[in-house]
Amino acid sequence: MTDYRVVDPATNTVLATYPAVTDDEVAAAVEGSAEAFRAWRARPVADRAAVLAEVAAAIRGEIDELGAIATREMGKTVAEAHGELQIVADIFDYYAEQGPGFIADRTLPVAEGEATVRFEPLGVLLGIMPWNYPYYQIARLAAPNLLLGNTVLLKPAPACPESAYAFQRLLRGAGIPEGVYETVLATNEQVRSVIEHPAVQGVSLTGSERAGRAVGEIAGRALKKVVLELGGSDPFIVLDDADVVEAAKAAVVGRMGNAGQACTAAKRIIVVEDVYDEFLAEFTRGVAALRVGDPAVPGTDLGPLSSESAAATITEFIEDAVAAGARAVAGGPERPATGAFVQPTVLVDVPEAARAYREEVFGPVAVVHKVTDVEEAIRVANDTPFGLGSAVFGKDPDRLRQVVDRLEVGMVAINHSSRTQADLPFGGVKASGIGRELGEFGLHEFVNVKLVRTV
C-alpha cells in the first residue's frame, strides 16, 4: 500500500505520513459521492453560487495558514504561495458571479416550434492532481463543476495530502456538503477502479504525458469523458524589434517562477540573433540576482524543488546537455547544501541531441536558442511534441500576428510571460493535453448539453 508523505524539501525532513485508503473506503467514497450528487444538483444554481462565494472569502481569510502548508509540502515560497491562493479565491468568485449566466438555458433559432439547450451536470467526477500548485489545480476542476452541480472525488499528489485535507476542511466550513467534495488518498491501482465505476462520469488529470496516456486509455475503454492538462515545453520568442530589457525581465519570471516547476514556464527561450547578446546579458544578470534559500523566509525568490528525486532529475538534464556540447553561461547564486535545491542555470548552444532541446525540463533551467530570423524562430518553437503555452515579444503588429498564426500551441502571450486568469481558458494541443479549464470553456467540459425541442 502506497503512503502519502509530507516531506519538507528544504530540509528533506519527513513531517507526516498518511496511509492510503482501503478498497472498501474507495468504494464507499464513490457511492457517497453518487448519493450526494442527487441532492446537490437539485439545489438552485443561485444557492450553489452563494456557497462558492463563501469558499472564496474563506480562502482569503486563511491565506497565511494555507500558504504555510504549501511551503512545507513542496517548497513554494511565501510570496508564491500567497499569489496562488489569491488566484484560487478569484476562481471561486468568478464562477460564483459569472457561472450561472454561462449555464442558463439558451434558445436556438429553428424554422418551426421551439428549441432550447439546457446545461446539466453529469454526476461524479474524479480529479487527479499534481503537486506543483496544490490549491490552484484543484480549484480549476472544483469551482466550475461544483457550480454546475457535479460532485468531485479528489486524488491529491502523494506529496500533498496536508494541503488537500486543508482545502476540503475549508470547503466544508463554507457550506459544501459531505460527499459533494471528497479527498481520497487512493493508489494508482484504485484509480482504475474509480474511473471504471458506473457512477463516475468523467476524469480530469493534470500531470505528465505518461500519466495522461495511462488515464486516457482507461477512461477511453470505460467511455468516460476526460480533460488532460499535461506537460509543456513552452517557447518564449524574442524578435529583433522587441524591448529587450523588458523581455529579459519577463523571461526571468516566466522561467524561474515556482522554481521552474510550472507547465507553462518559459522553458525554451528563442532569440533572434540581432538582439541575442543583449538579451542573454540581461537575462543571465536577472537569473544571477535571484535569492535562493529557505522558502519560508520572506524575500526568498527561489526555493527548493519538490523532492530530492526531482532535483536529481534536473541535474541529469544539465549534465546531459553539457556533455552534448551545450554551455552553462550562468549558474546564479550558490544553492544551500541541504535540501532539494538546484542552482538556477542558463544553457546556451544546446544541440538537438541533448534531452533539454525538446523535452520538458521541470526545474530552474533555461535553454536559450539563437536563431537567424523569425522563420527559424517559428520552426524551433514548433519542434517539440508539446503545445501548451508560449510568449512572443516584438513591436510590429503584423509580424506578431504572423507568429501567433503559426505557433502550434493552445495559448499565446504577447509581450508578457504566460499567466493564468479565472476568466481565460487554459489548455493545449498535441502532447500537452485534451480539453480546457477556466473561463466559460472550462465550465462546459463536464456538462450534458441537453436539447429540448417542441414542434
Cell numbers placing 112 = 418551426
CB 269 within 8 A of CB 238: yes
Spot the catalytic one: 73, 263, 437, 445: 263
Residues 55, 42: Cα–Cα separation, whole Å: 20
205-211, long-range: CB < 8 A, 24+ apart: 205/127, 205/128, 205/229, 206/128, 206/129, 206/130, 206/137, 206/140, 206/230, 206/263, 207/128, 207/130, 209/385, 209/431, 211/128
Is 73 one of the annotated active-site residues of the chain? no
Nearest CA-CA partner of 79 in 98, 63, 99 = 63
Residues in the chain: 455
Measured distance CA(308)–CA(339) in Å, rounded: 7
Interatomic CA distance for residues 415 and 236, integer angstroms: 10
| CA atoms of 414 and 416, how far apart (whole Å) | 6
Residues 6+ apart with CB under 8 A from 426: 140, 229, 410, 411, 420, 436, 437, 438, 439, 442
Catalytic residue flag (residue 263) = yes
> Is-contact 57 150, C-beta < 8 A?
no
Cα–Cα dist 51/123, whole Å: 19
- Residue carrying the nine cell digits 467540459: 445
- What does the buried/exposed string (b/e) look like for 362-392 if buried means 16 or more CB atoms within 10 Å of the residue's CB? bbbbbbbbbbeebeebbebbeebebbbbbbb
**Residue 69 near residue 164 (C-beta atoms within 8 A):** no
Query: CA-CA distances (angstroms) from residue 412 to 108, 184, 192?
Result: 32, 35, 35
From the list 84, 229, 282, 445, the catalytic residue is 229
- Residue recorded with cell 490552484: 136
Torsion of CA 61, 64, 65, 71, to 10 degrees: 140
Enumerate the active-site residues.
229, 263
